[in-house]
Every structure is written in structure tokens, then in C-alpha cells.
């Protein structure tokens, strides 16, 4: 439904640009109807509901203002609108608390932890300062792009980094910012950097950064282009104005690195790219063990046996599978108590059949095609070339 809603937001923006009063009203009302419907659905997540709510508030505020006075054309970007823009809903981007997490909370991905150690943590330690000065000169700050299959912990890792460095963090869902009506996305981006500039240590994290890089000829490309330009300008300014002793880190994450606009990867921006892969065998065992150890289970349900079935799953998916597995004896136990009216548990346990049935139904969020695309990207070759290389008959 988000897709339909976003396309309504785009049409609404178009109508506002064109000052087509009839379309503004028709599309605006339709947009509100969809948004409000989604806000009360039990299966829609809190953060999505928040996006719908904000969009609806913005549109409603515009419609209300419009019905009293003739509409004022809305600019697609620029500071001139600030303060009077009827779409604008101010937001606090940074969490009040530093996440209570550290590197110890990251399972596996040792190479990612090492990369953060070399790029971010070590330069802050006095004993390394001379080495960094010698090889890198004065550092302006750090901008890192994390890429990899969904659910491999990219967001989690950045939160752990914030905890380890005692930094406040702004987690920005780029697609939500993008879904804003014209001009508001740019204003939100400027706000994020303005709020960050007030802090001595901070991390700005742009999740799904690929959503800001739409196809050039798509309907939304003008809108996204303007947002991308604002983002790049803010990033450059933010890093250049860093003062001695301040820690400014910008991290972006994507599942689709090949979609990113080249301007984002250019020198001085997200030059450091770190691949976050699927968990290896040891990490899968750790994910499984962490959950299984807490559950009553049959003797043949071992960490090794379950881990063997979950190779190729992301950390997020393994957690979800284990939760579903735990639910099965739980359901039986509750039914036992209800049906037999005995009022005490019957000692239900996780069986291998529970595990097999859950895993059989669970759709792995990471497909072989995705992995192949990452392989091609890591080798710096087009996906099609890798495919044809694999198809070539061996001599
Ligand atoms: P991504 O951003 O790559 O899509 P997330 O960070 O949203 O993945 O992962 C979702 C959840 O899965 C996290 O909150 C965390 O509980 C778990 N997870 C995934 N990978 C790891 C990991 N390597 N270490 C610890 N937890 C992980």
C-alpha cells in the first residue's frame, strides 16, 4: 500500500505545482483516506504508521489552509519557504539516549568490525594518532557506506557503533523522508544536519540510501534529484565545518549498492564501502544457540542440527525463525491448559518436527540471485557478465 500512497503523494505534489485546485482537493482527499485507513490497520508497523500520519498531517494542513485563502505556489526546494511551509512538521531526529549497545552485541562479521576499528575507532585513540597523521593526514570525519543483503545487521551495527563511541544517533529512513511532499524532504534533511551540528559527537545514519537515487527518467526523478543535491551539499558542509575534538560520522546503508548515484560514491563522500555478508557457520550457530538455550527442547534438537538447516539465512531471519519455533510448544501448552482445564503446564518442548515445519514455511529473505548480484558488485563487474561467465561450459 505504501507504493500506492507514495504515488498519490507524487500526484498531489504535481497538482500543487500546477495549482490545479480540483486535482489538489480530489487527490488530497484520496491520500488522506488511504493514509488514515492504513493508520488503523493492526498489521501495519509503527514506523510506517508514523510516515502515513505525517504525510496526512501535511496534506490536511495544506488543504485546510487552501480552503480559506488562495493557494500559494509551493517551491520544490530552497530556504525561502522555511517557517511558513504548511507541510512542515518539525521533528526531533536524534535519540535522547546513546544506544545501550557495543561491539560485543554484533554477532559474526569480524571483517566489518575490523573495518570499523581501522576507519573509525582507532583514529580516536591517542596511541594511533601519529600513525594516522602520517598515512592519512588530517581527518575531516568519516563517511561509510554499508551494503549487503537485507537483515544482515547493518542498522544494528551502526547502533552498536554509536553505543561504543558514546554518540547520539539519528536513524533516518531515507524512503520515508523521500515520501514527503515537495520541499519538506529537503527541509528535513537540512534539519537533520542542523541538529547534528549542535552535538559534539554524533552519527547520522541514512538507511535505504538507494531510495534517494531513482531512475533518471522516472516520474519522481526531479523530486529525488533535488533531495540528493540537498543531501550532498549538507554532507559536504557538515564535514568541512567540523571543529577540533568533534566526532562527526555519516553512515549510509543499502541492499542495492549498484543503484546508487555515482555522486554519492565520489571522493570525499562515501568512499569507504563495507560489505556486510550473511553470517558464517559460527555466527549462525551463535544466533541459534542464543535462542535455543532458553527453550525447553528435545535432545535431538541441537544447535548444530538446527544451524545446518539455517545456513544461508540472515541474522534477522534466523531470529524470526527461532521465534516461530518457540511459538509452537507455547501454543500447545496454552491449548493443553485451556482444553484440559488442568491449570498447569504439561512440559511441552521444541521438537525437530516443529523446526522442520517452521523452516519449510519460512521464506528466506535472501535469494541466490541477490547473493550473485553482490558477488558481481564485489568483483566490480556487471551482473549479466558474471551470469554469462557462470553459464560458459567448462572445457
Ligand atoms: P539490516 O539493516 O541489514 O536490514 P537489521 O540491522 O535491521 O538488518 O537487522 C535486524 C535485526 O537482526 C537486528 O535488530 C538484530 O537483532 C538482528 N541481527 C542481524 N544481524 C545481526 C548481527 N550480525 N549481530 C547481531 N544481531 C543481528
The distance between the two most distant Cα atoms of the chain, rounded to a whole number of Å, is 77
Instruction: Classify residue 204 as left (phi > 0), alpha (psi -120 to 50) or beta.
Output: beta
Q: Whose CA is nearest to atom 5 of ligand 1?
A: 153
Single pTM value for the model: 0.77
Q: Which residues line ligand 1 (CB under 6 A)?
A: 106-109, 150-156, 253, 315-316, 319
pLDDT of residue 166: 93
Top pLDDT among 63 and 253 is at: 253
Could you tell which of 100, 114, 156 is best to mutate to test the pocket of ligand 1, judged by most ligand atoms within 8 Å of the CB? Answer: 156
Per residue in 287-309, pLDDT (tens digit) is 999 999 999 999 999 999 999 99
Residues 325 and 287: beta-carbon distance below 8 Å: no
Confidence of residue 2 (pLDDT cuts 50, 70, 90): confident
Which residue among 153, 278, 313 has the greatest number of ligand 1 atoms within 8 angstroms of its CB, and so is best to mutate? Answer: 153
pLDDT of residue 72: 36
For the CA of 207, the closest atom of ligand 1 is 2
Give residue 81's pLDDT band: very low, low, confident or very high (50, 70, 90). very low
Q: Which of 159, 171, 315, 321 to mutate to test the pocket of ligand 1 (most atoms within 8 A of CB)?
A: 315
pLDDT of amino acid 75: 36
> Of 114-128, 141-155, 290-304, 349-363, which range is least confident?
114-128
Amino acid at each position: 500500500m505504501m507504493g500506492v500512497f507514495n504515488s498519490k503523494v507524487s500526484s498531489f505534489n504535481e497538482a500543487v505545482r500546477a495549482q490545479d485546485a480540483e486535482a489538489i482537493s480530489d487527490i488530497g482527499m484520496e491520500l488522506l483516506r488511504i493514509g488514515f485507513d492504513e493508520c488503523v490497520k493492526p498489521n501495519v508497523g509503527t514506523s510506517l504508521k508514523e510516515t502515513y500520519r505525517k504525510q496526512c498531517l501535511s496534506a490536511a494542513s495544506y488543504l485546510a489552509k487552501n480552503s480559506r485563502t488562495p493557494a500559494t505556489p509551493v517551491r520544490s526546494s530552497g530556504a525561502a519557504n522555511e517557517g511558513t511551509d504548511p507541510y512542515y512538521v518539525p521533528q526531533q531526529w536524534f535519540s535522547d539516549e546513546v544506544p545501550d549497545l557495543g561491539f560485543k552485541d554484533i554477532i559474526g562479521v569480524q571483517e566489518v568490525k575490523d573495518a570499523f576499528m581501522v576507519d573509525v575507532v582507532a583514529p580516536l585513540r591517542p596511541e594511533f594518532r601519529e600513525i594516522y597523521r602520517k598515512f592519512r593526514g588530517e581527518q575531516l570525519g568519516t563517511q561509510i557506506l554499508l551494503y549487503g543483503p537485507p537483515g544482515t545487521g547493518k542498522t544494528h551495527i551502526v547502533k552498536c557503533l554509536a553505543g561504543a563511541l558514546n554518540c547520539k544517533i539519528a536513524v533516518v529512513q531515507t524512503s520515508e523522508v523521500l515520501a514527503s511532499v515537495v520541499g519538506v524532504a529537503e527541509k528535513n534533511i537540512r534539519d537533520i544536519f542542523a541538529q547534528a551540528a549542535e552535538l559534539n559527537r554524533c552519527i547520522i545514519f541514512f538507511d535505504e540510501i538507494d531510495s534517494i537515487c531513482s531512475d533518471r527518467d522516472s516520474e519522481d526523478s526531479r523530486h529525488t534529484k533535488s533531495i540528493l543535491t540537498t543531501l550532498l551539499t549538507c554532507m559536504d558542509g557538515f564535514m568541512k565545518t567540523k571543529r577540533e575534538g568533534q566526532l562527526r560520522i555519516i553512515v549510509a546503508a543499502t541492499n542495492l549498492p549498484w543503484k546508487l548515484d555515482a555522486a554519492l560514491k565520489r571522493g570525499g563522500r562515501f568512499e569507504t564501502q563495507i560489505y556486510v555478508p550473511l553470517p558464517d557457520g559460527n555466527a549462525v550457530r551463535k544466533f541459534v544457540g542464543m535462542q535455543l538455550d532458553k527453550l525447553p527442547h528435545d535432545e535431538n534438537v541441537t544447535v548444530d542440527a538446527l544451524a545446518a538447516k539455517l545456513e544461508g539465512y540472515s541474522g534477522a531471519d534466523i531470529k524470526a525463525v527461532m521465534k516461530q519455533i518457540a511459538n509452537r510448544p507455547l501454543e500447545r501448552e496454552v491449548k493443553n491448559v485451556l482444553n484440559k482445564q488442568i491449570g498447569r503446564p504439561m512440559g511441552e518442548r521444541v521438537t525437530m518436527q516443529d523446526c522442520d515445519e517452521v523452516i519449510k514455511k519460512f521464506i528466506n529473505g535472501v535469494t541466490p540471485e541477490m547473493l550473485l548480484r553482490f558477488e558481481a558488485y564485489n568483483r566490480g563487474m556487471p551482473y549479466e557478465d558474471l551470469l554469462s561467465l557462470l553459464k560458459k561450459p567448462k572445457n
